[in-house]
A and B are shown apart, each in its own frame.
Chain A
Amino acid sequence: MSIINRSLAVLGLVLVTCGATQAQTSKPIKVGVFVAVTGPGSFLGDASKKTFELYTQQFNKNGGVDGRQIELVLYDSKTNPKEAASLARKLIDQDQVDVLIGANTTGEAMAVVPFVEEANIPFIALAGGSVVVDPVKKWVFKTPHTDQMSVEKIYAQLRKEKRSKVALLSGAAGYDQSCRKNAKELSARLGIDIVSDEQHGSGDTDVTTQLTKIRGSGADALIYCGAGAPSALVARNYKQLGLTLPLYMTVGVASQAYIEAAGPAAEGSRVTGSAILAFADMMQDDPIYNVSRSLHDGYVASYKEEPSAFSGYAYDALLLTVEALRRAGTTDKAKVRDALEGLKNIPGVNGIYNFSATDHLGFSADSMWIVEVKDGRYRKVD
């Protein structure tokens, strides 16, 4: 074989490898998502799904991640931890996604964690429970405010208003019970006295009995530790009985669906959540104004409805993923994880993210707002 032939062969080999790497970098980045589109958590998952679909498109239109497009692989986890776990495995093994995002409920997130840790893939959870990132798990991050933050925020507000006797009402779901536990644990430290601790069942159609007890308990504030649809029932029964103590609800209620379901009974009730809930009250100099605005305006234009806090969680998860992928410059899972953990001062819809090796949530209760329903809209409470 002549030297020329040999050089040509080498050149050919080089060209082939180059072509291969070329193809490698322009291949889309796969983001695997499972959200609760159906089932009891659908009022959370629906907004998340819409946000993922809309903004993957938008990010791709803006050039994706350094020219690479993002391919969204989205499944419905049916608010079912078992389903979520098997979908996570499917996304990891069959679809071979590069990053995993999902789980609107705490139960689903916790069911997925073992598979994530085994597969060593970065996972951003959309669930509220503090247990998801406390204790810190190497591969698990999350974007939503926790139930604990909601309670802290409400307690701070109550102390500002010189109220200290709290009645709790909670349902049977995991989120309710986590919130209830945190509310009881935090109460002593924050100078709050829990004078009544009532519960309702998951299919109940009436809570006037519990509220009547609360009325007689001498409480000067009521916190409903629940999520989703039962909150509208609580608001209605509260109005029926003519209760006057302020009614607080947590981030589990933070969507437009609550106001629609409870109707006029929602008026005056207070909810904790992201600033996006009361976008009209946001100040232009707020560091998260611009990012909130881009979600708000785009969402309203596409879906003709206000984004909920759960749109914000999905949006932030996508934003953080794109940012981490960009910084890592690769889809190597360990490097993407390191990049995620290293993100600092990233303005998201829920607050400014500052991840670290000991904090995979990245923000404090300060970024949370208390909003009050006025004339069918959420308005900021100072």
Chain B
Amino acid sequence: MVDFLQFLVAGLSQGAIYALVGLGFSVIYRATHIVNFAQGEFVMIGGLGTAGALSFALPMPLAILSALVAGCVAALVLDLIVIRLARFAPALLLIIVTIGASVALRGAAQLAWGRNFHSIPSPFGSEPLHVYGVAIMPQVILILVTTVGAVVGLQWFFRRTRFGQAMLAAAINPTAASLVGIELRHVYTATFLIAGLLGMIAGLLITPLAMVHFESGLAFSLKGFAAAILGGLGSVPGVVAGGLLLGVVESLSAGYVSSAYKDAIAFLLIIVVLLTRPEGVFGRRSTGRV
């Protein structure tokens, strides 16, 4: 039982990170129908940027702020390239552009922060809490709480604010939205910023537990994308559930079946889901944009 709970803790904390990255995919996909494969790079920027600023003896809040600024600049540049091109390029080409952008961001990160692995200290230290024999890092609790907070915040933003509503409208029907006076360019810029922030939050949360280096983003992109697909790309609660499910399945299959095949088992699950429910476990069936 203790082992089971320990597996569950590991799965949930990993899953929450997948969910945050997956939400980034979801936000951009909803507004632009682009799958942004540079999403995982924001995780890397959040972690490495903070670690890099800390090495200049900046206090933690300033270090985090500087990483966020760096990440937002990257998001704006990405937005600029993708949206400029979007006028005459098909979605598939734009997806390839995001892959190119991810390679460029990796290269830039290597120049800025070097090739080594970096970590940042957890605000709660590195001593685990012991609950009924289960070792839980305080950082794990922070991860779960922050993920819940991010989801609630995101839902509130889309449902309750004028700008969020405008973004939803633009996602549902861009032509109608621009006819009623919604500036689509601003909407797109906002989606890239929100997606970037979600990624960077994930990076800030995971770096004290694991370590990041300039190539860490790719793995997060893959897992985050898988989480988003699993839950249904368009739905916020779906993506979160997809992320948590992916994390827990990985952990339990490593714990009870074979740690060598845990990724294979997780991806097998995704294939099964895609075959039986192409819109994701929690996604709504929809027709594509014509």
Contacts and interface: CB of A to CB of B under 8 A. Distances in A.
Contacts of A213: 3, 254-255, 259
Given A206-B14, A232-B211, A257-B116, A198 B259 contact: yes
Contact of A202 (B211, B219, B255): B219
B210 A199 contact: no
Interface string A123-155: 000000000000000000000000000000000
Interface of B: 3, 6-7, 9-11, 13-14, 17, 110, 115-117, 119, 126, 128, 135, 137, 206, 209-211, 213, 215-216, 218-220, 222-223, 251, 254-255, 258-260, 262-263
B215 A40 contact: yes
B7 A261 contact: no
14 contacts: A40-B215, A199-B258, A199-B259, A203-B218, A203-B220, A204-B219, A205-B206, A206-B209, A209-B259, A212-B3, A240-B128, A242-B128, A242-B135, A261-B119
A98 B32 CA distance: 57
A216 B215 CA distance: 33
The B contact surface, by secondary structure, is helix
Contacts of B119: 261, 263
A241 B3 contact: no
A232 B211 CA distance: 8
Contacts of A46: 115
A43 B116 contact: yes
Interface string A6-44: 000000000000000000000000000000001110110
Which 4 pairs show the lowest CB-CB distances between chains A and B? A203-B219, A205-B210, A199-B260, A42-B115
Contacts of B115: 38-39, 42-43, 46
Nearest to B17: A205
Nearest to B255: A209
Interface centre among B13, B115, B262 (most CB of A within 10 A): B115
Contacts of A38: 110, 115
Contacts of B11: 209
A208 B262 CA distance: 14
A377 interface: no
A82 B36 CA distance: 29
Given A203-B216, A240-B137, A241-B135, A265 B126 contact: yes
A200 interface: yes
Interface in A174-211: 198-206, 208-210
Interface string A219-258: 0000000000100110010011110000000000000010
B215 A229 contact: no
Interface residues of A, number: 34
Contacts of B13: 206
A353 to B, nearest CB: 31
A264 B119 CA distance: 13
Interface in A62-110: none
Contacts of A43: 115-116
A216 B1 CA distance: 12
A143 B119 CA distance: 32
A209 B251 contact: yes
A231 to B, nearest CB: 10
Given A213-B3, A229-B117, 7 more contacts: A43-B115, A205-B210, A206-B209, A209-B6, A212-B3, A229-B213, A261-B117
A203 B211 CA distance: 11
A257 B114 CA distance: 13
Nearest to A208: B10
Contacts of B6: 208-209, 212, 241
B124 to A, nearest CB: 13
A38 B116 CA distance: 10
